[in-house]
Amino acid sequence: MSSTEARPVRVRFAPSPTGKLHVGGARTAIYNWAFARANHGTFILRIDDTDPTRSTEENTQIILRAMKWLGLDWDEGPEVGGDFGPYWQTERLDIYRKAAERLVADGRAYYCFCTPEKLAADKKAAQERHDPFQGYQRTCRDIDPAEAQRRVDAGEPHTIRIKVPLDRGDVVVRDAVHGDVTFEANTLDDFIIFRSDGTPTYNFATVVDDSMMGITHVIRGDDHLSNTPRQIMVYEALGAPTPTFAHISMILGPDGKKLSKRHGATSVEEYRDAGYDSDAFVNYLALLGWALDGDTTIVPRDVLAKSFSLDHVSKNPATFDLKKLDWINGQYLQAMTDQEFARTQLVPQLVSAGLESAADAEAAYAAKPAWFDLLASVLKPRTTLAPQVVEKSRFLYWGEDVQFDEKSVNKNLAKDGARGYLEAARDALAALDADGWNAAAIDAALEPLPDALGTNKRKFYGAVRVAECGNQVSPPLGESLELLGRDVALARLERALPLAK
């Protein structure tokens, strides 16, 4: 059996909680999720935690959090349950044991009593005689089953090996990304499916799960391509249909080597903490090896979920390009309304930087939505990554006590005439009442002053800006003053007078 096309699509993402969710794993998760959504299928999250020394509950939680941040909702798995659970491999050990014992009973697997010393000696001998078959020498394959059972019952250490049919021939993996990949028969031996310590091997547990969970398409990193012929042997032994495989390419760093810590941030969390928008991040990762068409770079989540297909997945390695990620992030920010930008980018940053003291971003926003919307409208066009808003907003939180940048003061305030500029600005602005205090009115009040004072705009606005904001890098003046409010803006001009000449 190999045709799975007619079965409803069921795919899984099966991370091992031996570390955080890395960008490569996240991309695998995105492809599985998008494939399920595009085919009205089911997306399953399974925790492959059979390596007890390296799997931790903490890592599982980190992975679940990362999946949620990425917006990859799963239909079956931790927290949501489902009809094919449990979804943690450590809770399925009995299932694996029974499946292995059934294979032994059916004559498709057998107990092996070879000691490590014996295996090493056999291997050495095969090497020395240049045997084209270097695998397990099938020593225990023909032990009489009743005899083998007696030895097992007597407590003799043993493993369980799969019995690969001697006439099986080459194994062809029909891969949706790589095409047909042939593995020669003599590279396949009767490999271990159950260790002597009573734990299943990865190739066995995965296939037991994938077949019992009705997985139709296995989409995963191509580091697993070499495991696939063995897994196909397990499907065949179980008499289960083989899923369609799709092995996706590695992600490389800019130097052409496999993406790793050396290249910078590799975990999803680090990108979240750096302030990337999760939709933009998903869009970027989706494009690492998949394309909607030749050149579309902005593929929103809903389009991805409708259009993803395996035949647009490239088998060539993809290069992680931080500049492109930043660019896409900027595009997502620009596409937001001011209000969206305020709620999802600006306010959370101001809260986490401690500038806003409310308990959370929602509470902070609720306290002064119009103020944040206005700030968002001036900062959004100047922002490609959320945390950039913090430095640009800081001047709004000083009250009357401006933190002056010395260079800016020397260049703009400590200049002949500056005092006159500040006084003129103060008088013009003081004429506006609190109700009329808005960017347009402020700009209109200041506009005639440079000419009237016989100076140029650069000098005039430079002095006022430094008096109000402490430096020259703040957002446009009218909006900045509107955001500061009338009282603070006037008080700051007054306080800056002694610095001006």
124 labelled catalytic: no
Strand partners, 219: 246
Please provide the DSSP assignment of 342-384 as one string.
Answer: IIIIIHHHHHHTTSS-SSSHHHHHHH-HHHHHHHHHHHGGG-S
Q: Should residue 201 be labelled a site residue for ligand GLU when binding is judged by CB under 6 A?
A: no
Residue 15 CB, nearest distance to ligand GLU (Å)? 5
Binding residue for ligand GLU, selected from 22, 33, 42, 48, defined by CB under 6 A:
48
Candidates 8-16, 133-141, 370-378, 388-396 — which segment interacts with ligand GLU by CB under 6 A?
8-16
Min separation Cβ 220 and ligand GLU, Å: 4
Q: How many residues bind ligand GLU (CB under 6 A)?
A: 7
The residue behind tokens 């930043």 is 326
According to the annotation, is 142 in a ligand binding site?
yes
Return the amino acid letter for 181. Answer: V
Q: Please tell me whether residue 14 binds ligand GLU under the rule CB under 6 A.
A: yes
Q: Which of these is catalytic: 98, 257, 261, 501?
A: 261
Q: How far is the CB of 340 from ligand GLU (least distance, A)?
A: 35
Nearest to 329 by CA among 390, 278, 289, 373: 278
Listed ranges 14-22, 143-151, 189-197, 266-274: which one lies at the site for ligand GLU (CB under 6 A): 14-22
Could you say which residues in the range 272-291 bind ligand GLU, by CB under 6 A? Answer: none
Residue selected from 138, 163, 178, 224 as contacting ligand GLU according to rule CB under 6 A: 224
**Given candidates 20, 92, 220, 380, which one binds ligand GLU under the rule CB under 6 A?**
220
Which residue, among 180, 176, 140, has the nearest Cα to 156 in the 3D structure?
Answer: 140
Residue 249 lies near ligand GLU (rule: CB under 6 A) = no
Whichever of 224 and 415 has its CB closer to ligand GLU, that residue is 224
Comparison of 11 and 493: residue with beta carbon closer to ligand GLU? 11
How far is the CA of 243 from the CAs of 213, 215, 333, in angstroms? 11, 7, 40
Helix ranges, 414-485 (H) = 418-430, 439-446, 449-453, 457-469, 477-484
411 is in an annotated binding site: no
- Using the 8-state DSSP alphabet, how is residue 40 labeled? T
Site for ligand GLU (CB under 6 A): which residue of 32, 59, 201, 206?
206
Nearest CA-CA partner of 207 in 233, 184, 175: 233
Nearer to ligand GLU, 23 or 418 (CB): 23
CA distances 4 to 74, 169, 275, 309, 313, Å, are: 22, 22, 41, 16, 20
Nearest to 209 by CA among 4, 2, 13, 20: 13
Q: Does 373 bind ligand GLU (CB under 6 A)?
A: no
Cα→Cα distances 460→99, 107, 404, 477, Å: 82, 92, 17, 12
Least CB distance to ligand GLU at residue 91 (A): 15
Instruction: Check binding of 16 to ligand GLU (CB under 6 A).
Output: yes
Q: Which stretch binds ligand GLU (CB under 6 A): 10-18, 139-147, 269-277, 379-387?
A: 10-18
DSSP letters, 165-211, are -TT---EEEEETTTEEEEE-GGG----EEE-TTS-B-HHHHHHHHHH
Asked if residue 469 belongs to a known ligand binding site, the reply is no
- What tokens were used for 272? 């979240």
Footprint of ligand GLU (CB under 6 A):
14-16, 48, 206, 220, 224
Please report, in range form, the residues annotated as the binding site for Zn(2+). 112, 114, 140, 142
Positions marked active-site = 261
